[in-house]
């Protein structure tokens, strides 16, 4: 499919100026597939026109990633080399504005041993995590998407117009078309999400109760004083407002780690590490995942839950109404950036210390004392059935309907 140059330019500008909100003098770190080199050039030029000091690029290639896993041993793949760690140290110094362009093949790592995948991720993640924590809240970042042929074919198998259909869906969900000003559209959208977040914050809920006919019956405690957030965030170093996810429809917070009970049933497959987990549920006792069932990817799901001490606990609960433009596309994207914005979801693993009052100034250890979960993973899975209801419970026991039949009550 050919997308008009003017529309592509409009999309690139939206990512740089509204999503990442690149500021004059900033270093930018762009992560993108080698297949999307032409779009990368548009992004790079937009960054420089926004005043970027330097744009660095990390190229990704699905085929190379699979070949690495097929032929290199796990010790080699799991080792963070000195030059890689020096790059991470430089990022802590530069606090670059980071832009990620998602276009991965959802089946890129099919057939790779889940044990090997988990080992490599766990070993590398342990080294990388302190650097990630050091820049958290201190830089802008955004994830957006560009359709690849294999991703499109996964969404629309055997369809000659698959890429065109995926393009249309992506542009619809990010509010870009030939007849509108996407910057103004995003301004209105973020205002709506922030109004909903403000309402949730006013309620002062101490817990949420989820229930659905598919078997979801789950209660989770919330951290006293923790904020519900949505749409955008603020770089505490320079005050710049940015939108981390394009698209975004969620309002989220981090729950109290280790305080939840019951079962969550996923309504969509999860694409994790280039492999799929389908038809699954997770049961929690005393705040931790104690069992899981999957129609496909059982071993991978079990490995994920045991990645580290915090992987079995929740780091996020997020509310998304079924009227979401992503959900209205009526197909599975096989990409968490989109699928998590189709319906309500939760995330295993790391929480967000920024939801705490003054959270950006806290160390991760201090945030944990308030109840924020810590882990090397953060994996969203979708639970928003069409009949999902969620009740908010205040400290005095008052119950307030928050969601009914998959949307705001």
Q: What's the pLDDT at 365?
A: 93
For CATH 3.40.1830.10, the residue range(s) in the chain are 5-173
Q: What's the pLDDT at 274?
A: 75
Residue 373 tokens, joined: 């979960």
CA 112/CA 61 separation, integer angstroms: 16
Q: What's the pLDDT at 2?
A: 66
Q: What's the pLDDT at 288?
A: 98
Q: What's the pLDDT at 180?
A: 85
CA angle 72, 77, 78 (to 5 degrees): 145
Q: Of 378, 349, 374, which is closest to residue 364 (Cα–Cα)? A: 374
Residue 57 tokens, joined: 């690029």
Q: What's the pLDDT at 295?
A: 97
Beta bridge partner(s), residue 316:
347
Q: Of 193, 264, 190, which is closest to residue 228 (Cα–Cα)? A: 193
Q: What's the pLDDT at 3?
A: 83
Q: DSSP E strands: which ranges in 133-216?
A: 141-145, 207-211
Question: Which parts of 174-247 fold into alpha helices (H)?
Answer: 182-203
pLDDT (tens digit, 9 = 90+) per residue, 276-303?
899 999 999 999 999 999 999 999 999 9
Q: DSSP E strands: which ranges in 80-170?
A: 97-102, 141-145
Positions in the chain short of pLDDT 70: 1-2
* CATH top class, domain 5-173: alpha beta
pTM (2 decimals)? 0.86
């Amino acid at each position: 499919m050919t997308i008009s140059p003017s529309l592509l330019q409009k999309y690139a500008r939206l990512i740089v100026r509204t999503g990442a909100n690149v500021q004059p003098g900033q270093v930018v770190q762009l992560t993108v597939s080698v297949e999307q080199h032409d779009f990368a050039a548009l992004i790079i030029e937009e960054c420089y026109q926004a005043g970027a000091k330097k744009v660095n690029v990390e190229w990704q290639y699905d085929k190379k990633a699979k070949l690495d896993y097929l032929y290199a041993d796990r010790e080699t793949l799991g080792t963070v080399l000195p030059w890689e760690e020096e790059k991470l140290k430089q990022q802590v110094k530069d606090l670059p504005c980071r832009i990620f362009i998602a276009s991965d093949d959802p089946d890129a790592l099919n057939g790779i041993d889940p044990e090997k995948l988990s080992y490599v991720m766990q070993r590398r993640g342990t080294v990388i995590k302190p650097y990630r924590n050091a820049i958290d809240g201190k830089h802008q970042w955004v994830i957006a998407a560009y359709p690849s042929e294999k991703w499109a074919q996964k969404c629309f198998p055997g369809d000659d117009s698959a890429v065109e259909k995926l393009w249309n869906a992506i542009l619809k969900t990010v509010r870009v078309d030939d007849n509108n000003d996407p910057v103004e559209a995003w301004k209105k959208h973020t205002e709506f999400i922030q109004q909903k977040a403000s309402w949730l914050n006013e309620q002062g809920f101490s817990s949420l109760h989820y229930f659905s006919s598919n078997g979801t019956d789950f209660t989770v405690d919330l951290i006293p004083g923790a904020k519900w957030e949505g749409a955008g965030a603020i770089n505490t170093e320079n005050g710049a407002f940015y939108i981390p996810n394009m698209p975004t429809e969620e309002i989220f917070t981090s729950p109290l780690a280790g305080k939840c009970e019951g079962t969550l049933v996923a309504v969509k497959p999860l694409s994790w590490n280039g492999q799929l987990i389908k038809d699954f549920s997770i049961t929690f006792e005393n705040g931790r995942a104690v069992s899981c069932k999957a129609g496909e990817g059982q071993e991978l799901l079990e490995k994920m839950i045991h990645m580290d001490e915090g992987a079995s606990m929740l780091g996020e609960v997020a509310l998304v109404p079924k009227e979401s433009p992503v959900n209205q596309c009526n197909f599975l994207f096989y990409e968490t950036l989109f699928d998590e914005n189709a319906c309500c979801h939760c995330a295993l693993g790391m929480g967000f210390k920024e939801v705490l009052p003054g959270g950006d100034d806290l160390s991760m250890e201090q945030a944990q004392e308030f109840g924020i979960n810590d882990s090397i993973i953060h994996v969203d899975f979708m639970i928003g059935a069409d009949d999902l209801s969620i009740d908010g419970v205040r400290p005095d026991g008052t119950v307030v309907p928050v969601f009914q039949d998959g949307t705001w009550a």
